Amino acid sequence: MEHKKLYPSYEMREQVKYEGWEKISETVCPREKACHYLNNVIWSHYWRAREALENNRKWKSLLKKVMGKKYHPGYMLDMDDYIPHYLYANLENSPKEMLNAIKEQWHYEPKESKYMPKGCTCYRDIVKDIRGIAS
């Protein structure tokens, strides 16, 4: 996939995520914390998840499973679809004040995806996971 050259590198994602956590720890305002959480931390995890998904040799079929009826040919994982799954999978790891601010400001609601287990940031093929093979 030629477009992968445009994806942020691992080093860049880690730096952006680190800066996000740093800003979150320095900030008092829940809305500002939520902004750094979305635009730094979740953004970094999104690109990792997208890269991992597309590196799966059966990524299109996995993406069809994840998106269900919303999937169409040519669809690439969108942040608007990823964020609710991430929020649900990481409810226990995400400060409630930031989740509330994300809901108020950007209208993202946590949404369960059986392909993103609790505590994870990437999608998993459930059949492979049951067999004990990482996807």
The residues of the chain scoring below 70 in pLDDT are 1-4, 125-135
pLDDT score, position 2: 57
The total number of structural domains in the chain stands at 1
Query: What global pTM score does this model have?
Result: 0.86
What is the extent of the structural domain holding 106?
8-131
Q: Determine the pLDDT at residue 50.
A: 93
pLDDT tens digits, one per residue of 57-78: 888 888 998 998 889 888 889 9
- Is 105 a domain residue? yes
Give whole-number Cα distances, 100 to 33, 74, 105, 109, 134, in Å: 11, 33, 9, 9, 33
Residue 1 lies in a domain: no
